[in-house]
Structure formats: C-alpha cells, structure tokens
Chains A and B, each alone.
Chain A
Amino acid sequence: QVQLVESGGGVVQPGRSLRLSCAASGFTLRSYGMHWVRQAPGKGLEWVAVIWYDGNNKYHRDSVKGRFTISRDNSKNTLYLQMNSLRADDTAVYYCARDRRGSGYYPDAFDIWGQGTMVTVSS
C-alpha cells in the first residue's frame, strides 16, 4: 500500500548533524512534491521544507535555511533531510509528507504522511 517510512532520528548534541530518510512505497516518488513537517513535544505542526518532483525547486523555512537541506533520490524512492548545526529548538518529531499535486511547482494539501521520527537535540 501507499506508505512513507521515516528513519534516522535520535539524540544528538547541539551543533552536530543528522540525516533523516523517508522511504516511499506503493507509489513513484518522482511523480510528487514532498515535504518535511515537524512537531515539537506538546506543540503544533510546523512546515520545514519542500522539494518538487524533479528536484529542481526547493524551499526551506527561514529558521532552518542554511542549516537544513532537503533532497531526494528518485532512483531509490527516498527523500532526505540533512540537518546541520542542530539546536535545542530543533527537537521535534519529523514527518515526511506527500504533496497531493503531482507535477508542478505549487503546493497542495499533504495526503500521505509517515509515522514520524523523533529528533532530540540535547547535551
């Protein structure tokens, strides 16, 4: 069935790096834009980044710009989030989510979500 599975979370010290992965199954990743969304403990949802179906366009929220990079390997049906210079306020569950729009560069609603992976930034 259509599914997203995140991995790569864990406990990391401030200033260190972590790479999250999101493996897609049941659909062809290259046909969709993909997003990362995070949720700090007990808090609401926060959009992090988007990468469009062909990888040619991507956007990051200001608070992670220059530290996080979204990327994709369509041949492996996998989405990534490289997180550098991590801070305590990056602590959250990170979800990958599929944009329901296929080709094109305008966002639409997120119709498929992974189960999330927890990232804890602490010394």
Chain B
Amino acid sequence: DIQLTQSPSFLSASVGDRVTITCRASQGFSSSLAWYQQKPGKAPKLLIYDASTLQSGVPSRFSGSGSGTEFTLTISSLQPEDFATYYCQHLYSYPLTFGGGTKVEI
C-alpha cells in the first residue's frame, strides 16, 4: 500500500499568510494526486486533481505542484474561510489512501 505523510499535521496562521502543506508518498506515482478541504461536520471538497489542476469553482489562491513522491498544496493568501483540514489522496493503485490531514487554524 502507498502511505501518504502530510506535514505539518497542524498549522497556525493568520489571514493573508502564504501557507504550504506537503504530502510525501512512500513510493512514486507520477501526478495521480488530489487535495481536499474539509470543514467540521461537512463532507470533503475537491480542490486540486492531477496534482496541479484546479477544480472548477475553486479560488485561484489554491495551487498544487509536485510529482513522484513529493507534492505540495499552497494557499497564496489565507482567507477566513480557508481555516479547515486539508487532505491529500493518491489515485494510483488500490487501496486509495489519504494523508493524515493538516489542520489549519488561526
């Protein structure tokens, strides 16, 4: 199974900050990676797919990059509505695993 390790697991930031979350994979898999945002009590929301493609309707302050074993999610200027937990997910082989999550708090 491919293991995904997110860092940091917790991040304290302010409105306007640039935030970067890293997702490291136990083995490489090209660009088959997605990022999701989840707010308390809500379902996850797709932000990025194919490592760097922005999902329709997602603000352009979100961006993704990387390939192989290291991927990043960047929020260029953190907004109040961005305080949430973020998960990466690989789509390369079964089982499809998620990272442990990164909670972004004020």
**Dominant SS among interface residues on chain B:** loop
- Spot the interface stretch: B17-25, B65-73, B74-82, B87-95: B87-95
What are 10 residue pairs bridging A and B, where the CB atoms are less than 8 Å apart in the complex? A45-B36, A45-B44, A62-B95, A100-B46, A107-B96, A108-B49, A109-B49, A109-B89, A111-B49, A113-B43
A to B contact number (C-beta, < 8 Å): 58
19 A-B pairs besides A45-B44, A110-B36 with CB distance below 8 A are: A35-B96, A44-B100, A45-B89, A45-B101, A47-B96, A47-B97, A50-B94, A50-B96, A59-B95, A95-B44, A100-B49, A106-B91, A109-B55, A110-B34, A110-B44, A111-B46, A113-B43, A114-B43, A115-B42
Give the complex CA separation of A95 and B42 in angstroms.
Answer: 10
Which 7 A-B residue pairings sit nearest by Cβ, starting from the closest?
A109-B49, A109-B34, A113-B43, A47-B96, A45-B98, A107-B91, A61-B95
From residue B89, how far is it (CB to closest CB) to chain A in Å?
A: 7
The answer to whether B45 has its CB under 8 Å from any CB of chain A is yes
Say which size band chain B's interface belongs to.
20 to 34
Give the complex CA separation of A108 and B90 in angstroms.
Answer: 9
Mark B residues whose CB is within 8 Å of A: 34, 36, 38, 42-46, 49-50, 55, 87, 89, 91, 94-101
Give the complex CA separation of A114 and B49 in angstroms.
Answer: 19
By a CB distance below 8 angstroms, the chain A residues around B94 are 50, 59, 61
Q: Which of B91, B95, B100 is the one whose CB lies under 8 Å from A109?
A: B91
Q: Which of B42, B50, B95 is the one whose CB lies under 8 Å from A47?
A: B95
